[in-house]
Amino acid sequence: MFNFNYKPEQGYEDLWKHEKSFKTVFIITLVSFLIMALFYYSIGILEASYNGAIKEFIQKNIEKSNVDNGHKSEIFRQSEQLFYFGIATRFIIGSLILGFGIAMLISIIFGYKRKNFSKIIKWPNTVYFVLSFYLFYIAISTLFAGNFTDSGVPKYNDFKVAYSVITVIGAIVLFISYFIFARKYTVIKTLYLNIEKAIEAKKQMEENPELLEFYKNIEQAFNGLVASSGQAEYNNETTSNQFNNSNEQEPKNKSKRDEYFEKMMLLPNEKLYAFAEKLYISGYENMEKETLANLILDIFEKQERDKEVNKNLNNDEIVVEPKESIDQASNNNKDDKNFEVK
Highest mean pLDDT among 73-77, 146-150, 311-315, 332-336: 73-77
221-257 exposure pattern, b = at least 16 Cβ within 10 A, e = fewer: bbeeebbeebeeeeeeeeeeeeeeeeeeeeeeeeebb
| Amino acid found at 188 | I
The predicted-structure confidence for 155-176, as pLDDT tens digits, reads as follows 888 888 899 899 999 999 998 8
Tell me what pLDDT residue 95 has: 96
- What average pLDDT does range 50-55 have in this prediction? 88
Question: For residue 93, is pLDDT > 80?
Answer: yes
Give the residue among 17, 22, 18 at the shortest CA–CA distance from 186.
22
Reported for 207-215, long-range contacts at CB under 8 A and 24+ positions apart, including other chains, are: 208/278, 209/320, 211/275, 211/278, 212/320, 213/320, 213/322, 213/323, 213/324, 214/275, 214/322, 214/326, 214/329, 215/300, 215/303
The predicted-structure confidence for 97-115, as pLDDT tens digits, reads as follows 999 999 999 999 999 999 9
The predicted-structure confidence for 253-309, as pLDDT tens digits, reads as follows 556 677 777 777 777 777 778 777 777 777 777 778 888 888 888 877 777 776 676
| pTM of the shown model | 0.59
Check residues 259 and 326 and name the one with the higher pLDDT: 259
DSSP string, 255-294: HHHHHHHHHHHTS-HHHHHHHHHHTT-TTGGGS-HHHHHH
Tell me what pLDDT residue 218 has: 61
DSSP string, 35-101: HHHHHHHHHHHHHHHTHHHHHHHHHHHHHHSS--HHHHHHHHHHHHHHHHHHHHHHHHHHHHHHHHH
| Amino acid found at 240 | S
Tell me what pLDDT residue 247 has: 47
- CB-based contacts of 54: which residues, under 8 Å, 6+ apart? 47, 83, 156, 159
Q: pLDDT band for position 145 (50/70/90)?
A: confident
- What average pLDDT does range 45-56 have in this prediction? 90
| Amino acid found at 7 | K
The predicted-structure confidence for 161-216, as pLDDT tens digits, reads as follows 899 899 999 999 998 888 888 888 988 898 888 888 878 777 776 766 666 666 66
Q: Under a CB-based contact definition with an 8 Å cutoff, are residues 335 and 267 in contact?
A: no
In whole angstroms, what is the distance from residue 279 CA to residue 174 CA?
38
- What average pLDDT does range 29-45 have in this prediction? 93
The predicted-structure confidence for 114-138, as pLDDT tens digits, reads as follows 999 989 998 998 899 899 888 888 8
Check residues 14 and 327 and name the one with the higher pLDDT: 14
Check residues 341 and 203 and name the one with the higher pLDDT: 203
Helix (H) or strand (E) holding 23: helix 19-49
Tell me what pLDDT residue 179 has: 86
Tell me what pLDDT residue 211 has: 62
Q: Under a CB-based contact definition with an 8 Å cutoff, are residues 189 and 129 in contact?
A: no
Tell me what pLDDT residue 92 has: 96
Q: What percentage of the chain has pLDDT greater than the value 90?
A: 19
Tell me what pLDDT residue 175 has: 87
The predicted-structure confidence for 221-249, as pLDDT tens digits, reads as follows 555 433 443 443 444 444 344 444 444 44
Helix (H) or strand (E) holding 203: helix 183-207
Q: pLDDT band for position 324 (50/70/90)?
A: very low
Is the backbone of residue 166 left (phi > 0), alpha (psi -120 to 50) or beta?
alpha
Entry field: residues in the chain: 342
Q: Under a CB-based contact definition with an 8 Å cutoff, are residues 330 and 263 in contact?
A: yes
Helix (H) or strand (E) holding 196: helix 183-207
